[in-house]
Amino acid sequence: MDLLVIHQYLTTYLVFGAMLFGFGIYGLVTRRTLIGMLIASELMLAGVSINFMAFNRFLAPDPSVGQIFTLFIMAIAAAEAAIGLSIVVAVYRHYKSVDTEDLITLEG
Amino acid sequence: MNGPQTFAHSPGILTPDGLVGLIFLIMVAVTLTGAYIAATSERLVRAVAGLVVCFTGVGGMYYFLNSPFMAMMQILIYVGAVCITISFAIMLAAPEQKKKTAPPNLLSGPLGFMVATLVFAGMAALALRTEWQQFAKTSMGTVREIGIQLLTSYSMVFELISIILLIAIIGAIVIARGGRS
């Protein structure tokens, strides 16, 4: 397969999305701060969105459905980032740290 | 639509098709570099910068997937809103970390790398081995069609998303304000 025509194939995008997802998982398990883990989860969401868009472009009968679904993923990701970051700010105010090692008390 | 059969031969690098392929490869390289920086960089500010680069590259991917609308939304929402929010949170909550003194936990070494590689290899093998079945296209997926579908078939989901965003905004304000006199 020639490198210059790989953008014509579905599997290129699927493997690429899987690669982004793998980067996200690596960041999620190695990061030790809450914000770093949030960044990694955004990477995973980007990989998933690419998967949806690739299936939408190559396989789906109606190509607008996948775009609408990806739009909803973006809205959910924005809401998740807002809530997650406000929790991070609240946690920082309480513990004076966002390191996962320091957040060891579970009571209210 | 135009499947893989359209260009069975390889185009020269200076023809329009070859240049398109070259731009695609550059996009892939940019995105993966950004993702690598975002996942591994020691400082969080650099990770956010890598995230911006990665999301811009993903926007380029959406162009190649016949959807300039989603590319615009990607730049607008992710680069313009989410990354800016994250960098604000870094400024508010994460002073540059001191050198780690705690021993590394179990997953942060080669084991974490192995987990990520296994997940990637599994999904890539699944994508490469499956015989994907194509269906005849019933529409073109233009912005006009997206708009019509959003306000007819998916109007309920559209309303729900609006309510979720509203609740998220209010909740974020309430949580982040708590504890302040």
The confidence score (pLDDT) of residue A95 equals 80
CB-based contact B165 A78, cutoff 8 Å: yes
Mean pLDDT over the full length of chain B: 86
Is B156 within 8 Å of chain A by CB?
A: no
Provide the H-helix boundaries in chain A: 10-30, 34-58, 63-95
Note the pTM of the prediction, 2 decimals. 0.88
Higher-confidence residue of B18 and B107: namely B18
- Tell me which residue of A34, A59, A31, A41 sits closest to B89, measured CA to CA: A34
Is residue B1's pLDDT more than 50? Answer: no
Q: Are A86 and B173 in contact (CB under 8 A)?
A: yes
Is B20 within 8 Å of chain A by CB?
A: yes
- Tell me which residue of B75, B79, B59 sits closest to B67, measured CA to CA: B59
CB-based contact B134 A58, cutoff 8 Å: yes
CB-based contact B38 A43, cutoff 8 Å: yes
Residue B73 to chain A, least CA–CA distance (Å): 8
- Amino acid at site A78: A
As given in the structure block, the two tokens for residue B77 are 């929402």
Is B67 within 8 Å of chain A by CB?
A: yes
CB-based contact B123 A53, cutoff 8 Å: no
B174 → chain A, closest CA residue: A86
pLDDT tens for the 108 residues of chain A, in order: 578 888 888 999 999 999 999 999 999 988 888 899 999 999 999 999 999 999 999 998 888 999 999 999 999 999 999 999 998 888 888 888 777 777 777 665
Is residue B155's pLDDT more than 90? Answer: yes
Is B82 within 8 Å of chain A by CB?
A: yes
Select the residue from B41, B46, B52, B70 to test the A interface by mutation, using most A Cβ atoms within 10 A: B70
Long-range contacts (CB closer than 8 Å, 24 or more residues apart) made by A67-74: A67/B67, A67/B69, A67/B70, A67/B141, A67/B146, A68/B146, A68/B149, A68/B150, A68/B154, A70/B70, A71/B70, A71/B73, A71/B146, A72/B157, A72/B161, A73/A45, A73/A48, A73/A49, A74/A49, A74/B73, A74/B74, A74/B77, A74/B78
CB-based contact B51 A43, cutoff 8 Å: yes
ipTM for the whole complex: 0.90
> Phi, psi at residue B3, to the nearest 5°?
-90, -165
Q: How confident is the model at residue B95 (pLDDT cuts 50, 70, 90)?
A: low
β-partners of residue B152 are: none
- Which residues does chain B have within 8 Å of residue A52's beta carbon, measured at their own beta carbons? none
The confidence score (pLDDT) of residue B133 equals 84
> Phi, psi at residue A99, to the nearest 5°?
-75, 135
Q: Are A44 and A27 in contact (CB under 8 A)?
A: no
CB-based contact B70 A53, cutoff 8 Å: yes
Is residue B103's pLDDT more than 80? Answer: no
